[in-house]
Amino acid sequence: MLFYFSTVTKPKYNRQTLTINQKPNILDSILTINNLTKKFGYLTAVKNLTFTINKGNVYGILGPNGSGKSTTLGVVLNVVNKTEGDYHWFDGNTTTHDALKKVGAIIERPNFYPYMTAYENLKLVCKIKGVDYSKIDEKLKIVGLDERKDSKFRTYSLGMKQRLAIASALLNDPEILILDEPTNGLDPQGIHQIRSLIKEIASKGTTILLASHLLDEVEKVCTHVVVLNKGEKLYSGRVDEMISSHGFFELKTDKHDVLMEFLENNTSFGKLKVEDEIITAFLNEPLDASTFNKLLFDKGITLSHLVKRKESLEEQFLQLTDNN
């Protein structure tokens, strides 16, 4: 993500708005995975994976295609058999079968009966989950499909199918919503719709687990992230800690030495790098470009070049996956 001097491009959904209602509580764990391994013949799809999902956060599972995201979700959702290790839902006293009734999940692509209407499809899901039919209209309204509820599923566009899948996953007012690549294959408008939906759901305090290979998606939506590559966990923790810095300035001025001295004595800045007369100054604390510019101007330092940048998740991610 680039923050230029004046044209600051802000992401539409930023993390801060998501965390307002969320009070993470370590005691309320929803899913615990311990040393999970899954082998398909010679191929190890998931290797010794351990992580915990707590109530009230938006988690991302990030990894390139074939890194074991879907397999991991498949195992905890009871459609893929684990090879080794274990996992448990909630406090560990609930069977997976019962736990899944408190979970809403969609996987890879929306799977419904093409010959049934949206309403009929959701009725079936209600029967499976033991939910009252009155929820159907409510949830269809949330995803904006209530006007098309009597159309057959096969007449839906991919974006509508995906939204129906989300409505279906929400029917039981789940404690956790699991989404596997929910924007895969959608056009920009569809992606936008799905993301604002996720944002809206998260703001109501529902825990979300989002698997994706799209970095900016995870960056925009998630508070926590687990990075996988070739079935192994590379990182797990907060997204903003993964993007560990507050960004950095790229500066150029005639009064090079004065500026260097100023930066060295200013506690807001940490590491400094000089390359072709351009100073790269890493921030220790948040500081926006215009404030900084004014500050320097008051000190009598005029800049010929000022760029504020942030290391993107992409850079972090590529760095992580490259090392392995």
Residues engaged in binding other proteins (CB under 8 A): 40, 74, 77-81, 97, 100-101, 103, 105, 107, 109, 111-116, 120, 123-125, 127-130, 168
* Helix 118-129 and helix 158-170, axial crossing angle in degrees, nearest 10: 30
Name which of 18 and 171 has its Cβ closer to other proteins.
Answer: 171
When the beta carbons of 107 and 160 are compared against other proteins, the nearer one is 107
Would you say 166 or 306 has its CB closer to other proteins? 166
Contacts of 160 (CB under 8 A, 6+ apart): 145, 148
Task: Give the whole-angstrom CA distance, residue 51 versus residue 34.
Answer: 7
Q: Name the residue nearer to other proteins (CB basis): 63 or 74.
A: 74
Contacts of 67 (CB under 8 A, 6+ apart): 213, 228, 229, 230, 231
Per DSSP, what are the bridge partners of residue 33? 51, 87
Per 3-state DSSP, the chain is made up of helix, strand and coil in percentages (nearest 5) of 35, 30, 35
| Minimum separation from the CB atom of position 213 to other proteins (A) | 20
C-alpha separations of 165 from 6, 162, 190 in Å: 41, 5, 13
Q: Which amino acid is at 26?
A: I
Q: How far is the CB of 30 from other proteins (least distance, A)?
A: 16
CB-wise, 125 or 287, nearer to other proteins? 125
d(CA 92, CA 195): 31
Give the contacts of 90 (CB within 8 A, at least 6 positions apart): 29, 30, 31, 99, 102, 175
Q: Closer to other proteins at the Cβ: 4 or 115?
A: 115
d(CA 165, CA 109): 9
* Pairing state between β 207-212 and 176-180: parallel
Nearest approach, Cβ of residue 102 and other proteins (Å): 9
Query: How far is residue 162's CA from residue 183's CA, in Å, rounded to a whole number?
Result: 8
Compute the least distance from the CB of residue 268 to other proteins, in Å: 49
- Nearest distance, CB of residue 210 and other proteins, angstroms: 16
Smallest separation (angstroms) from other proteins to the CB of 129: 5
Judged by beta carbon, residue 24 or residue 85, the one nearer other proteins is: 85
Smallest gap from Cβ 95 to other proteins, in A, equals: 9
